[in-house]
Amino acid sequence: MPKKKSKGFSEHPKSKTKLGVSLTPTGSDLLDQIAKKAELSKSELVDHIARGEIAITSPSAEKTVTLETDPEAASQQQTTINVASGKQPPQNQSLGAQDSSTVTQQAYETLKQELEQKANLLSDLENQLAQQKSQQGESNQALEQELEQKADLVSDLENQLAQQKSLAAQNADSYQALKRESEQQANQISALQQQIADLQRLATIGEAQLNKWRYYQFSS
């Protein structure tokens, strides 16, 4: 049963050259497995590898063959073949390193922007805190002045109250003194009135006696 042509490979002329190849059992087995995976015959697989249409990469490769073909060239005779000895890093690994470097750079730039934004935010918060402290300080100063004024007012009122109490005490003493003096005068007036009443009685009696005496004198 003929092998199916894999999609993506270009057709080549039917004229082919027979080539005898000797392989180790391991190499033959791997070639057979690769051909089956690629849905190609062994001859087609070898042909595609030789044309540079299939690349086989392996971490244990001791040499790397690179084919550079001019896209405008009509013949493969103008293909440049480069052979590099030693193990070469897989292409995807190199791309991965570049991607990692790019991602790292992008992450660095993003982190740098975030740090700048946070620094600006921190600066704004510090300025707001300073303004609030300044306003609070002014408010505290105004409150202290108001409290001092109220304290002075309370002190004045206390002094006035003390003066009023002292004056009231003096007035009370004066009132008591005046009251005692008034009582004494009232007693004196009562005594004088009693004396006057007594004198008036005596005067009346004396006048009556005098009238009797006069009557006897003029009658005789």
201-218 mean pLDDT: 81
Q: What is the mean pLDDT of the segment spanning 80-100? A: 59
pLDDT for 1 equals 43
What is the pLDDT, as a whole number, of residue 168? 83
Strand, coil or helix: 38: coil
Length of the chain: 220
Q: 70 φ, ψ to 5°?
A: -70, 120
For the entire predicted model, the pTM comes to 0.35
pLDDT band at 70 (very low <50, low <70, confident <90, very high): low
Show Cβ contacts of residue 84 under 8 Å, excluding neighbours closer than 6 positions. 63, 64, 65, 66
Contact present, 42 and 3 (Cβ < 8 Å) = no
Round to whole Å and give the CA distance between 21 and 113: 62
pLDDT band at 11 (very low <50, low <70, confident <90, very high): low
Tokens standing for 7?
């999609």
Residue 95 is predicted with a pLDDT of: 46
Instruction: Decide if pLDDT at 100 tops 70.
Output: no
Which of 91, 78, 31, 45 has its CA nearest to residue 67? Answer: 78
**pLDDT tens profile 132-157:** 888 887 888 888 888 888 889 898 88
